[in-house]
Amino acid sequence: MQLRRDVFQAIADPTRRAILVLVASQSMTAGAIAANFDTARPTVSRHLQILTECELLQQEQNGREIYYRLNPRKIKELADFIEPFRQLWDDRFNTLEAVMKQYKPKE
């Protein structure tokens, strides 16, 4: 079954956000990541799978081990997604400022 893998759904989960924070500083194996959580190992594996499917994490083969690391491109995409919204308000507020600089009190 093909599930929808939306980045925003992926980061809506607190454990998955914690995983992202964890691997932000260094690449880690699934075992090392799981050691940081009380949740069962298969649950952590499932979270890793979801994060990998939506490309927030990348897998790296190092000898026999698979390491997980952040995908900077995808993280940047996430950071940029609010930019059009910001731009919209910035434009509105720039107009507000321009209009009020011309403001003459009514007689």
Which residues of the shown chain bind other proteins in the complex (CB under 8 A)? 8, 11-14, 17, 78, 81-82, 84-103
Which residue's CB is nearer to other proteins, number 5 or number 32?
5
| Minimum CB distance to other proteins smaller for 13 or for 53 | 13
What are the φ and ψ backbone dihedral angles of 39, each rounded to 5 degrees? -65, 155
Structural contact between residues 103 and 95, judged by C-beta atoms closer than 8 angstroms? no
Cα–Cα dist 80/58, whole Å: 20
Give the CA distances from residue 8 to residues 44, 58, 68, in Å, rounded to whole numbers and listed in that order.
18, 17, 20
Residue closer to other proteins by CB (options 17, 73) is: 17
Least separation in angstroms between CB 86 and other proteins? 4
At its nearest, how many Å lie between other proteins and the CB of residue 66?
Answer: 25
